Amino acid sequence: MNIYKMSCDVDYYERVFNARKQNIYAYKSNIPEISKKVGRDCSHLDFSPGLNELLEDVVFFCETDNSLQSYNYLNNVHGWPIVHERVKDLLTEEHIRGVLFFPLRIIHDKSGLPEHGFYLLYTSNFIEAYDMERSMYKYLEKYNAYMFFPMKTVFVESECSQYDIFRCVKDPVPLYVSQRFYEIIKSAGYEGFSFHKVQ
């Protein structure tokens, strides 16, 4: 069974910058203001279990005034998996279970014009993915958190094989996907995604 860690392909964005001399990066958001308003840090909503909606109208700001419509995964300050509508439509057509898409406002900071069609890709699949007996990790009691060693992490295949996308309840930061999910994105030719095989 193949499992991949999915994230933004920063090398792809570096190549775009070198070729076109434009930095496609949502460098700022209104998340700090939202966090102050609600009294808690909202910068990690993407790996918060039980999210049904965004608390407020979330806005990201981009440095460029050029259209972002050709980009599939938007590089951003919070590391959120922000995808274009065509990715949303493809994953919906392929019946990927356990994904929700929350619309975001993307604003070009120089012109103030909006960029339409971008969403936070959120998974509601938080599972016991790691084989705790065979994996190496350190438990941080102060934070009630686990720190897993990347090359010493073993997955429970019987659990993970039921999902095309998931996060682990004991370490929710990494976003994992199946071979099927990987092939769907690769077959579509959607750039901007990074897939690192972990098992």
Q: 188, 84 in Cβ contact below 8 A?
A: no
Return the residue matching tokens 């934070």: 143
| Residues 146-198 pLDDT 10s | 887 776 888 999 999 999 999 999 999 999 999 999 999 999 999 999 999 98
| Residues 105-129 pLDDT 10s | 999 998 999 999 999 999 999 999 9
Does position 23 have pLDDT exceeding 80, yes or no?
no
Burial of 121 (0-12, 13-18, 19+ CB in 10 A): buried
Can you say whether residue 115 is alpha, beta or left, with left for phi > 0 and alpha for psi between -120 and 50 degrees? Answer: beta
Going by pLDDT thresholds of 50, 70 and 90, the confidence category of residue 73 is very high
**Mean pLDDT over each residue of the chain, to the nearest integer:** 93
What Rg do the C-alpha atoms of the chain give, in angstroms?
17
Q: How far is residue 149's CA from residue 146's CA, in Å, rounded to a whole number?
A: 10
Q: Which amino acid is at 54?
A: L
